């Protein structure tokens, strides 16, 4: 492999577990998501954890992409460096756009987000970190979901309800003035897509959110990372 086939440029974000690095891979504009070692963990165990999480996230992205949903395309998985090389998605975080969207656009976007999450849940995927920072709106108003680092496989109503509840908490804490209209549109889209084929499981998932709140069952986002 020639040195000029891979070019890493700027670190766009450094999180608790991984760095996102903008660059190019064989002429394609990409993001390198690299999980770095944790010194407090025993080295072989640390390596095993990073590889497992890298593979889990990459495989989830590939599967979700095959459902026709908008997530970054995975180009390569490097287990030696615990790195996923994926397509760079041009756009802005939903978090930074909500305040400038009119009500009609907010309703449309959150309705479509609800349908997206319903499709995930129908296929046994739990995103684990649904936030407005993990949703990219492209210049053409396409909606892309990113960061499947906390992804899990589950078909339980409880796990799906927790996924929705975490998103609800994000909307309340970060977008309080828009919470009612946005969450209502989100739930409408979720129920429509989930129960499209005559199933009523989506209704139980949504109803269980209230049960989680009454039990104080939800896990704060910071504690899940």
In angstroms, what is the C-alpha Rg of the chain? 18
Rounded Cα distance between 70 and 182, Å, is 20
Write down the H helix ranges in the chain: 43-66, 103-122, 157-174, 179-194, 201-215, 221-224
Q: Return the residue matching tokens 């593979």.
A: 55
CA distance to 60, 77, 88, 118, 163, per residue, from 126 (Å)? 10, 21, 23, 10, 7
Q: What whole-number distance in Å separates Cα of residue 20 and Cα of residue 223?
A: 21
Question: Residue 132 phi/psi, 5° resolution?
Answer: -75, -10
Crossing angle for the helix pair 201-215 and 179-194, nearest 10 degrees?
140
Q: Which residues of 18-37 are buried (b: 16+ CB within 10 A; e: fewer)?
A: bebbbbebeeeebbbbbbee
Give the span between the Cα atoms of 154 and 135, in whole angstroms: 22
Among the listed residues 103, 112, 129, 159, the single catalytic one is 129
Catalytic, 129? Answer yes
Provide the annotated active-site residues.
129
């Amino acid at each position: 492999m020639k040195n000029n086939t891979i070019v890493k440029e700027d670190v766009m974000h450094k999180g608790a577990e991984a760095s996102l690095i903008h660059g190019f891979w064989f002429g394609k504009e990409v993001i390198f998501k690299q999980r770095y070692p944790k010194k407090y963990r025993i080295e072989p165990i640390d390596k095993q954890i990073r590889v497992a999480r890298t593979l889990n996230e990459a495989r989830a992205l590939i599967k979700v992409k095959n459902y026709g949903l908008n997530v970054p395309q995975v180009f390569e998985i490097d287990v030696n460096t615990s790195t996923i090389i994926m397509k760079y998605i041009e756009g802005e975080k939903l978090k930074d756009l909500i305040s400038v969207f009119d009500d009609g656009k907010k309703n449309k976007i959150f309705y479509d987000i609800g349908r997206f999450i319903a499709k995930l849940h129908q296929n046994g995927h739990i995103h684990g970190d649904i936030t407005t920072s993990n949703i990219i709106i492209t210049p053409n108003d396409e909606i892309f979901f990113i960061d499947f680092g906390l992804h899990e496989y589950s078909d339980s109503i409880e796990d799906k309800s927790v996924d929705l509840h975490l998103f609800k908490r994000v909307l309340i804490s970060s977008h309080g003035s828009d919470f009612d209209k946005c969450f209502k549109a989100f739930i409408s889209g979720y129920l429509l897509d989930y129960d499209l084929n005559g199933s009523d499981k989506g209704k139980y998932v949504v109803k269980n959110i209230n049960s989680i709140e009454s039990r104080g069952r939800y896990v704060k986002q910071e504690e899940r990372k």
